[in-house]
Structure 1
């Protein structure tokens, strides 16, 4: 979910600007571990703030492409949400609002994505793709721009192209 369907990078930048009055250049986050581009403890504070996950912006194009995929394939939304207990209810509410076509039966909150057995996984983290037995797709995020071990998709338009979805316009 995070940085694939929900734009937590932009949300963190916007929240930081609102709370601290400093607008960080998104390019300063490229190639460094997630959260490291902010002063120590700031991102952890955001991740533990009520409403943070609930108010994340939707990644451009994700709704249209996931809807089209769900019409042809069984889709599961998997999030390693257990680390941040506040995120559980907020992520479910967020999914119900923005991806209402996905059944609660197809939403999995877990501690580790190593339990996932599927044909494909779209994720932004090597730690989630490394042991995946299906075909991994690395969704571009600032913290993974230097990784070269996976087929990369930069946006949802490229996901639509990869799965040869016709008549889908990822906006």
Structure 2
């Protein structure tokens, strides 16, 4: 029997990217936004004069290297999923091309049991042909052809039409329901 496959987004699903982004934003522009304010859309609504400078900060080769793991349970759940599924990491690294090496190193550090041949650095995830995609970005899920699973974040609260998970324990439970024995 052929194993099913899961693609997992990296930023704000495995890695807490916004925590460092809000610090960088506040330092660069003399602001004092909270992580919650930033998560609700500040990054997406930057004025053009700040947007270019902020992108330059994100595009620094080491920026993505030291993110915290978003949910400590993710490591064990991904390890268990990897025993039953073909697991891929699908990250939209084309949005920040300077991030490739740092993202690769981060994944190797935190998920050393994953096959590096299953790391996919892409833009539009319509090119991902797995059975499932776990992502926080509804735009990426719209383009995906399999079962989209929306990782809940404040900026996607209003989105319906997908299986929604709030943490990695819920992801583990979801895949138990679809037939994975741990």
TM-score normalised by length of structure 2: 0.80
How many residues align? The count is: 167
Moved more, 55-64 or 22-31: 22-31
1:45 aligned residue: 56
Cα distance between partner residues in 2 of 1:121 and 1:33: 26
Per-residue CA deviations over 1:74-131 (Å, capped at 9, x if unaligned) read 1011112123221111111111111110111111112221111111100011111002
User: Which of residues 18, 23, 31 in structure 2 aligns to 1:14?
Assistant: 23
Give 2:167's match in structure 1, choosing from 136, 151, 155: 155
Shift of 1:21: 6.3
Which region of structure 1 is more displaced relative to structure 2, 64-73 or 158-167?
A: 158-167
Tell me which of 35, 38, 49 is aligned to 1:26.
35
- Would you tell me which structure has more strand in proportion to its own residues? 2
State the secondary structure of the residue aligned to 1:2.
coil
Please, what TM-score do these two structures have when normalized by structure 1? 0.84
Return closer, same or farther for 1:65/1:43 CA change in 2, 3 Å cut-off: farther
Q: Is contact 1:51-1:90 (8 Å) kept?
A: yes
Gaps of 5+ in 2: 1-9
* Deviation for aligned residue 1:19: 5.4
Q: Is 1:29–1:143's contact at 8 Å kept on the other side of the alignment?
A: no
Q: CA deviation digits over 1:4-54, x for unaligned, max 9?
A: 111111121233455566542233245437443799325423311231111
Cα pair distance change 1:143/1:46, threshold 3 Å: farther
Aligned to 1:59: 70
Q: In proportion to residue count, which structure has more helix?
A: 2
- Paired residues of 1:138 and 1:152 also in contact (CA < 8 A): yes
